Amino acid sequence: MSKLANFLRNLDLTPDEIAVRARLPSERVRMILEGRDANLVELRALARALKVPLRMFVQKNEDNSDLALLFRSTTASRPDLGVENAAAFVQAAISIMPKRQSPPEWLSGFEFREESYEEAERLADAFRMMFTPNRLDEPLYDLPDLVVNLGGVILGQLESSRFEGASVISDGYAFIFVSPRFAGRMLFTLAHEIGHLVAHHREGRSVVFDLASQIGGGRRYKSKSEAFVDSFASALLMPARGVGIALRQIRKSFHIQSDEVGDIEIICLARLFGVSFDAAALRCEKLGLLPRGGAISLSEILRRNHGSPEKRADTLGLPKRPTIIIPRVSQNLLKAAGERINDGKLSLGWVTDRLACSANDVFAARSAPEAARGSHH
């Protein structure tokens, strides 16, 4: 029997269901199931329909590895191409990067005690004290580079997935996956996943996948853990003193006399700290600058009256949000992959397929100046 027929026969799907999903004639799918050879166009249609990479049709060992099974068990039974790709990414990265015996040393500098708001603030402050001691109150637009340069951290993007962020500890490396979205949202997701690394991941292998509703969700959290890491992310990106200093300057610049914090101040804070309006408003609420429920109310008013907080900001001519670059794949991994390609151990196509990046990303990492690479591992 053909490899493809073998794979398809093991699915819990009828020929008609496969045909509908792949938009292929039922008769043709039946012929393929009986062992007739498909062509590459049909193969790609089937892979797309089944949400699996092409290599899944043949790579039994990789497919059933502990890591892939762990990823699938964490994300329940519904197929998710992003989860499969993230498992392949981690597996590929481990094979590319130098071996590590234990998770990044810097993680052991955090002593996690309990999932409380105060503890999230304390850990975020500790992170700032350890890694940005000279800019405790400033925005962290460079958080992607900063966290990679701490060592043992690899960033990737979570595409074609219902999940928005993920963090993984495996084989001594910490992996953070962020779904491609608006930059402010991605920065918050990154900080959220760092929160998981600091508080929830322990030795060995562990995986956390976060749905959009679990990140920056205000009071709609399904778990205490997610509320905790959101508080961490919020405090890390918008330190209390930094918010206070910025707010004073904003109010002075706009000659705002009112005692209450309004939409203009929050939009300015959001753009200054590189986060969304909702994230900035919730932070203000946590800091007691807005009444309880004020963040959601303000957000709803802006959406109703102006379309969105961003449109309101543009109408007022407020300063733009700075450019925040969250790479598809961190430079440390791309650089190591480039060395393996150069040695002829791996092919460029293998690397771009597994790391879900383009050949141009790999080329750019090789041509980037050494100083900008952040190639610690």
Partner 1 sequence: MMSSLRARLQRPLVDLIIDASSIINLDNAQALELVAGLSDRTIWLSPLVIGECKPTCAARIVQLEKEGLIRFVNPESVSAETFLSLLETYDLGEGETECLALSLGHPYVMCCDDSKARRIGTKLLGPERVIGSLGLLKSCVSAELISPKQAFDLYELMKKAGGFLPLVASEWFSQPD
Q: Residues in the site for partner 1, rule: CB under 8 A?
A: 2-4, 37-44, 54-55, 57-59, 338, 341-353, 358-360, 362-367
Kindly state the smallest distance separating residue 362's Cβ from partner 1, in Å. 7
Kindly state the smallest distance separating residue 339's Cβ from partner 1, in Å. 11
Kindly state the smallest distance separating residue 29's Cβ from partner 1, in Å. 13
Nearer to partner 1, 57 or 163 (CB): 57
Kindly state the smallest distance separating residue 269's Cβ from partner 1, in Å. 35
DSSP 108: G
Residue 341: exposure state from Cβ atoms within 10 A (0-12, 13-18, ≥19) = buried
Nearer to partner 1, 11 or 245 (CB): 11
Residues linked to residue 169 through DSSP beta bridges, in sequence order = 174, 206
Q: What are phi and psi of 73, to 5 degrees?
A: -70, -30
Tell me which H or E stretch contains 85: helix 81-96
Strands of 173-178's sheet in order across: 153-157, 173-178, 163-170, 206-211
Kindly state the smallest distance separating residue 338's Cβ from partner 1, in Å. 8
Nearer to partner 1, 38 or 97 (CB): 38
Nearer to partner 1, 7 or 127 (CB): 7
User: Angle at CA 312, nearest 5°, toward 316 and 248?
Assistant: 65
Radius of gyration of the chain (CA): 23
Kindly state the smallest distance separating residue 59's Cβ from partner 1, in Å. 7
295 Cβ partners below 8 Å, 6+ apart?
218, 278, 281, 282, 284, 285
Kindly state the smallest distance separating residue 18's Cβ from partner 1, in Å. 14
Nearer to partner 1, 253 or 342 (CB): 342
CA 49 to chain centre: 24
Nearer to partner 1, 29 or 266 (CB): 29
50, 19 contact by CB (below 8 A) = no
The closest alpha carbon to 127, from 234, 24, 40, 284, belongs to 234
DSSP 350: H
Nearer to partner 1, 89 or 106 (CB): 89
61, 32 contact by CB (below 8 A) = no
